[in-house]
A and B are shown apart, each in its own frame.
Chain A
């Protein structure tokens, strides 16, 4: 069964450094998402991406965040200058283009900011 894959599984970064989280969505999907989950809390929406542009973003997704689909398979989340509070699990998700369809999630990248 096709799945969303994310790399790396764990990223440790010094505060203030840039980090790029990578995702390969399911190949025939057209909608892409990033969510985060702070330890012990619920999953929070960050951004959605369709047709090579951001379609919606949350209040968490400030100017430090950006997303990109550099080629036909990868979808990345960049945090320009990381803060301690960026430490969380980051999940990528994708879904197909057929009305209401479930979003399928990867296993996440654990981001630890020191």
Chain B
């Protein structure tokens, strides 16, 4: 079945440093991946997405890397700020399927 999981439950990072959040997925049919940020009391907020025909995509201060060989996804946040403190979820999907399969989430705590 579909399964998306995160390696580290909590990541503490100094303000200004870079953060890396990892995610493993098990469904080799997945061809679309999304990172969401969830702040306390709010819904998942879209950060960045990537399709399986790419291995890297950059946004503003964020980069997503996709390694289909080992079914691994990562989110890099450059110059982490206090506002980046949140839970980060990866989610996967495949064309023709409606549901997003979410991982458990990874708490990022930014230390000022």
Contact = CB atoms under 8 A, between A and B. Distances in A.
A78 B41 CA distance: 22
B98 A100 contact: no
For chain A, the bracket of interface size reads: 20 to 34
B68 to A, nearest CB: 15
Given A105-B45, A108-B43, A43 B102 contact: yes
B51 A100 contact: yes
For chain B, the bracket of interface size reads: 20 to 34
Interface in B17-43: 31-32, 34, 36, 41-43
A104 interface: yes
Given A42-B104, A105-B44, A58 B49 contact: no
A99 B51 CA distance: 11
A45 B43 contact: no
Interface in B45-67: 45-46, 49, 51
B43 A100 contact: no
Interface in A94-114: 99-100, 102-108
Contact of A42 (B32, B97, B102): B102
**Could you say which of B43, B89, B91, B103 has the most chain A C-beta atoms within 10 Å of its C-beta?**
B43
B99 A56 contact: yes
Given A100-B93, A102-B34, A45 B46 contact: no
Contact of B97 (A44, A56, A91, A107): A56
